[in-house]
Amino acid sequence: MKIGVCIKQVPDTETKVRIAADGRSIDETGVTFVISPYDEYALEEALRIKDKQPGEVVVFTVGDERAATSLRTALAMGADRAVHLKDAAFEGSDAVGLSRILAAALKPESFDLILMGKQAVGTDRGQIGPRVAELLGMPHVSVITHLEMTEKTFRAHREIEGAHEVVEGSTPVLLTAQKGLNEPRYASLKGILAAKKKELKVLGAADLGLDPATVGKAGSRTRWEKLELPPARTAGKLLKDMEPAAAARELVRLLREEAKVI
Protein backbone atom coordinates (compact mmCIF):
# COMPACT_ATOMS: atom_id res chain seq x y z
CA MET A 1 0.00 0.00 0.00
CA LYS A 2 1.29 3.43 -0.94
CA ILE A 3 0.60 6.01 1.76
CA GLY A 4 1.11 9.77 1.68
CA VAL A 5 1.35 11.74 4.92
CA CYS A 6 1.15 15.54 5.15
CA ILE A 7 2.79 17.20 8.13
CA LYS A 8 3.31 20.76 9.31
CA GLN A 9 6.11 22.17 11.42
CA VAL A 10 4.76 24.18 14.36
CA PRO A 11 6.12 25.72 17.57
CA ASP A 12 6.49 23.20 20.38
CA THR A 13 3.30 23.25 22.45
CA GLU A 14 5.40 23.94 25.54
CA THR A 15 6.91 27.08 23.98
CA LYS A 16 6.11 30.41 25.59
CA VAL A 17 4.65 32.40 22.70
CA ARG A 18 5.60 36.04 22.16
CA ILE A 19 4.11 38.36 19.55
CA ALA A 20 6.58 39.73 16.99
CA ALA A 21 7.08 43.44 16.39
CA ASP A 22 4.80 43.39 13.33
CA GLY A 23 1.86 42.33 15.52
CA ARG A 24 0.85 39.67 12.95
CA SER A 25 3.24 36.82 13.70
CA ILE A 26 5.05 35.20 16.59
CA ASP A 27 8.59 36.01 17.64
CA GLU A 28 10.54 32.88 16.68
CA THR A 29 13.57 33.74 18.81
CA GLY A 30 14.45 30.70 20.91
CA VAL A 31 11.36 28.77 19.72
CA THR A 32 11.66 25.01 19.19
CA PHE A 33 9.75 23.72 16.18
CA VAL A 34 8.26 20.22 15.97
CA ILE A 35 5.85 18.15 13.91
CA SER A 36 2.28 19.17 14.75
CA PRO A 37 0.97 16.60 17.28
CA TYR A 38 -2.08 15.63 15.22
CA ASP A 39 0.19 15.03 12.23
CA GLU A 40 2.30 12.75 14.41
CA TYR A 41 -0.77 10.55 14.91
CA ALA A 42 -1.23 10.45 11.13
CA LEU A 43 2.40 9.49 10.56
CA GLU A 44 2.34 6.83 13.25
CA GLU A 45 -0.80 5.29 11.74
CA ALA A 46 0.84 5.16 8.33
CA LEU A 47 3.88 3.43 9.80
CA ARG A 48 1.70 0.89 11.64
CA ILE A 49 -0.12 0.03 8.42
CA LYS A 50 3.23 -0.40 6.68
CA ASP A 51 4.38 -2.69 9.50
CA LYS A 52 1.42 -4.99 8.78
CA GLN A 53 1.52 -5.02 4.99
CA PRO A 54 4.16 -4.19 2.36
CA GLY A 55 4.11 -0.61 1.25
CA GLU A 56 5.71 2.81 1.15
CA VAL A 57 5.22 5.89 3.31
CA VAL A 58 6.00 9.27 1.74
CA VAL A 59 5.90 12.45 3.84
CA PHE A 60 5.18 15.97 2.53
CA THR A 61 5.46 19.41 4.07
CA VAL A 62 5.25 23.01 2.88
CA GLY A 63 7.75 25.38 4.45
CA ASP A 64 11.08 27.13 4.42
CA GLU A 65 14.50 25.57 5.01
CA ARG A 66 13.76 24.99 8.70
CA ALA A 67 10.89 22.62 7.88
CA ALA A 68 13.41 20.08 6.55
CA THR A 69 14.24 19.13 10.15
CA SER A 70 10.70 17.82 10.67
CA LEU A 71 10.94 15.81 7.46
CA ARG A 72 14.17 14.27 8.74
CA THR A 73 12.37 13.40 11.98
CA ALA A 74 9.63 11.68 9.98
CA LEU A 75 12.26 9.72 8.05
CA ALA A 76 13.94 8.73 11.30
CA MET A 77 10.60 7.43 12.60
CA GLY A 78 10.35 5.13 9.58
CA ALA A 79 9.02 7.02 6.54
CA ASP A 80 10.61 5.92 3.26
CA ARG A 81 10.77 9.21 1.39
CA ALA A 82 10.15 12.89 2.11
CA VAL A 83 9.16 15.75 -0.17
CA HIS A 84 9.91 19.34 0.81
CA LEU A 85 7.60 21.79 -0.96
CA LYS A 86 9.74 24.89 -0.78
CA ASP A 87 9.50 28.03 -2.87
CA ALA A 88 9.50 31.74 -2.12
CA ALA A 89 6.19 31.85 -3.97
CA PHE A 90 4.64 29.62 -1.28
CA GLU A 91 5.31 32.06 1.58
CA GLY A 92 2.16 33.51 3.11
CA SER A 93 -0.16 30.84 1.71
CA ASP A 94 -3.54 30.56 3.42
CA ALA A 95 -5.54 27.32 3.70
CA VAL A 96 -6.59 27.52 0.04
CA GLY A 97 -3.04 28.04 -1.17
CA LEU A 98 -1.58 25.30 1.03
CA SER A 99 -4.25 22.89 -0.19
CA ARG A 100 -3.39 23.65 -3.81
CA ILE A 101 0.31 23.07 -3.17
CA LEU A 102 -0.24 19.76 -1.36
CA ALA A 103 -2.79 18.49 -3.89
CA ALA A 104 -0.42 19.27 -6.77
CA ALA A 105 2.37 17.33 -5.05
CA LEU A 106 0.19 14.38 -4.01
CA LYS A 107 -1.69 13.82 -7.26
CA PRO A 108 1.15 12.38 -9.41
CA GLU A 109 1.97 9.78 -6.75
CA SER A 110 -1.43 8.03 -6.97
CA PHE A 111 -1.63 7.14 -3.27
CA ASP A 112 -3.96 4.47 -1.94
CA LEU A 113 -4.24 6.35 1.35
CA ILE A 114 -3.46 9.92 2.43
CA LEU A 115 -3.23 10.77 6.12
CA MET A 116 -2.83 14.08 7.94
CA GLY A 117 -3.75 15.59 11.29
CA LYS A 118 -7.26 16.96 11.80
CA GLN A 119 -5.70 20.41 12.19
CA ALA A 120 -2.34 22.05 12.78
CA VAL A 121 -1.59 23.25 16.28
CA GLY A 122 -1.37 27.02 16.12
CA THR A 123 -3.77 28.00 13.35
CA ASP A 124 -6.32 25.27 14.27
CA ARG A 125 -8.12 25.82 10.98
CA GLY A 126 -8.87 22.17 10.22
CA GLN A 127 -9.49 22.99 6.55
CA ILE A 128 -6.54 21.40 4.78
CA GLY A 129 -7.68 17.76 4.80
CA PRO A 130 -11.15 18.33 3.31
CA ARG A 131 -9.82 20.89 0.83
CA VAL A 132 -7.05 18.59 -0.44
CA ALA A 133 -9.50 15.70 -0.76
CA GLU A 134 -11.85 17.92 -2.78
CA LEU A 135 -9.05 19.04 -5.10
CA LEU A 136 -8.02 15.43 -5.65
CA GLY A 137 -11.60 14.26 -6.17
CA MET A 138 -11.11 11.82 -3.32
CA PRO A 139 -13.48 10.82 -0.47
CA HIS A 140 -12.39 11.76 3.03
CA VAL A 141 -13.25 11.06 6.66
CA SER A 142 -12.18 13.51 9.37
CA VAL A 143 -11.13 13.20 13.03
CA ILE A 144 -10.75 9.42 13.09
CA THR A 145 -9.88 7.68 16.36
CA HIS A 146 -9.50 4.10 15.09
CA LEU A 147 -8.69 2.64 11.69
CA GLU A 148 -8.89 -0.82 10.17
CA MET A 149 -7.35 -1.29 6.72
CA THR A 150 -7.20 -4.00 4.10
CA GLU A 151 -5.47 -3.69 0.76
CA LYS A 152 -8.55 -2.15 -0.88
CA THR A 153 -10.92 -1.11 1.93
CA PHE A 154 -11.02 0.92 5.14
CA ARG A 155 -13.15 1.07 8.26
CA ALA A 156 -12.75 4.37 10.14
CA HIS A 157 -14.17 5.17 13.58
CA ARG A 158 -14.87 8.72 14.75
CA GLU A 159 -16.48 10.34 17.75
CA ILE A 160 -19.33 12.71 17.03
CA GLU A 161 -21.60 14.57 19.43
CA GLY A 162 -23.40 11.98 21.51
CA ALA A 163 -22.43 9.02 19.34
CA HIS A 164 -19.72 6.84 17.82
CA GLU A 165 -19.68 6.77 14.02
CA VAL A 166 -18.16 4.09 11.77
CA VAL A 167 -17.48 4.83 8.10
CA GLU A 168 -16.58 2.10 5.62
CA GLY A 169 -15.38 2.45 2.07
CA SER A 170 -12.79 1.62 -0.53
CA THR A 171 -9.44 3.20 -1.29
CA PRO A 172 -8.15 5.65 -2.34
CA VAL A 173 -9.26 7.83 0.57
CA LEU A 174 -7.99 10.75 2.65
CA LEU A 175 -8.29 10.54 6.45
CA THR A 176 -7.47 13.07 9.17
CA ALA A 177 -6.26 11.92 12.59
CA GLN A 178 -7.66 12.80 16.00
CA LYS A 179 -5.99 12.36 19.39
CA GLY A 180 -6.48 8.79 20.61
CA LEU A 181 -5.83 7.17 17.24
CA ASN A 182 -2.49 5.84 18.51
CA GLU A 183 0.61 6.71 20.52
CA PRO A 184 3.40 8.00 18.24
CA ARG A 185 6.75 6.26 18.44
CA TYR A 186 10.10 7.88 19.12
CA ALA A 187 12.81 7.82 16.49
CA SER A 188 15.47 5.24 17.33
CA LEU A 189 19.21 5.84 16.95
CA LYS A 190 19.18 3.36 14.08
CA GLY A 191 16.32 5.30 12.48
CA ILE A 192 18.12 8.63 12.90
CA LEU A 193 21.23 7.26 11.19
CA ALA A 194 19.16 5.67 8.41
CA ALA A 195 17.29 8.93 7.82
CA LYS A 196 20.48 10.59 6.63
CA LYS A 197 20.57 8.22 3.64
CA LYS A 198 16.89 8.53 2.70
CA GLU A 199 15.59 10.74 -0.08
CA LEU A 200 14.50 14.27 0.69
CA LYS A 201 13.22 15.78 -2.53
CA VAL A 202 12.65 19.52 -2.96
CA LEU A 203 9.89 20.76 -5.27
CA GLY A 204 8.89 24.31 -6.13
CA ALA A 205 5.98 25.94 -7.92
CA ALA A 206 7.41 25.26 -11.39
CA ASP A 207 7.98 21.58 -10.58
CA LEU A 208 4.33 21.26 -9.49
CA GLY A 209 2.96 23.18 -12.46
CA LEU A 210 1.49 25.83 -10.17
CA ASP A 211 0.87 29.44 -11.12
CA PRO A 212 2.57 31.53 -8.37
CA ALA A 213 -0.42 33.90 -8.51
CA THR A 214 -2.66 31.15 -7.07
CA VAL A 215 -0.55 30.47 -3.96
CA GLY A 216 1.40 32.42 -1.36
CA LYS A 217 0.48 35.99 -0.53
CA ALA A 218 -0.57 36.60 -4.13
CA GLY A 219 -3.23 33.92 -4.04
CA SER A 220 -4.26 34.27 -0.41
CA ARG A 221 -7.92 35.01 0.28
CA THR A 222 -7.35 35.60 3.97
CA ARG A 223 -4.61 37.17 6.04
CA TRP A 224 -3.73 37.74 9.68
CA GLU A 225 -4.59 41.29 10.71
CA LYS A 226 -3.52 41.11 14.34
CA LEU A 227 -2.36 38.64 16.97
CA GLU A 228 -2.96 39.15 20.69
CA LEU A 229 -2.09 37.10 23.73
CA PRO A 230 -5.00 36.20 26.05
CA PRO A 231 -5.48 38.74 28.84
CA ALA A 232 -3.77 37.92 32.10
CA ARG A 233 -6.00 36.15 34.58
CA THR A 234 -7.15 38.21 37.52
CA ALA A 235 -6.97 36.84 41.03
CA GLY A 236 -9.96 34.80 42.11
CA LYS A 237 -12.20 35.56 45.05
CA LEU A 238 -12.86 33.12 47.85
CA LEU A 239 -16.12 33.33 49.74
CA LYS A 240 -15.42 31.93 53.18
CA ASP A 241 -16.76 32.17 56.70
CA MET A 242 -20.24 32.82 55.33
CA GLU A 243 -23.55 31.07 55.73
CA PRO A 244 -24.59 29.19 52.54
CA ALA A 245 -27.51 31.53 51.83
CA ALA A 246 -25.36 34.64 52.26
CA ALA A 247 -22.57 33.12 50.13
CA ALA A 248 -25.08 32.37 47.36
CA ARG A 249 -26.39 35.94 47.39
CA GLU A 250 -22.84 37.33 47.31
CA LEU A 251 -21.88 35.01 44.46
CA VAL A 252 -24.85 36.13 42.39
CA ARG A 253 -24.00 39.79 43.07
CA LEU A 254 -20.39 39.28 41.97
CA LEU A 255 -21.43 37.47 38.81
CA ARG A 256 -23.87 40.25 37.95
CA GLU A 257 -21.99 43.38 39.00
CA GLU A 258 -18.31 42.46 38.55
CA ALA A 259 -18.08 39.53 36.14
CA LYS A 260 -21.17 40.81 34.28
CA VAL A 261 -22.07 37.33 33.05
CA ILE A 262 -25.66 37.34 34.29
Predicted confidence at residue 116, as pLDDT, reads 97
* 45 within 8 A of 182, measured Cβ to Cβ: yes
Q: Is the pLDDT of residue 122 over 80?
A: no
Tell me which amino acid residue 120 is.
Answer: A
What are the tens digits of pLDDT across the range 191-247? 999 999 998 999 999 999 999 999 999 998 888 888 888 888 777 888 888 899 999
Check whether domain 2-219 has CATH 3.40.50.620, yes or no: yes
Single pTM value for the model: 0.87
Q: What are 80-112's pLDDT values in tens digits? A: 999 999 999 999 999 999 999 999 999 999 999
What's the pLDDT at 215? 96
Domains of the chain by residue range: 2-219, 234-262
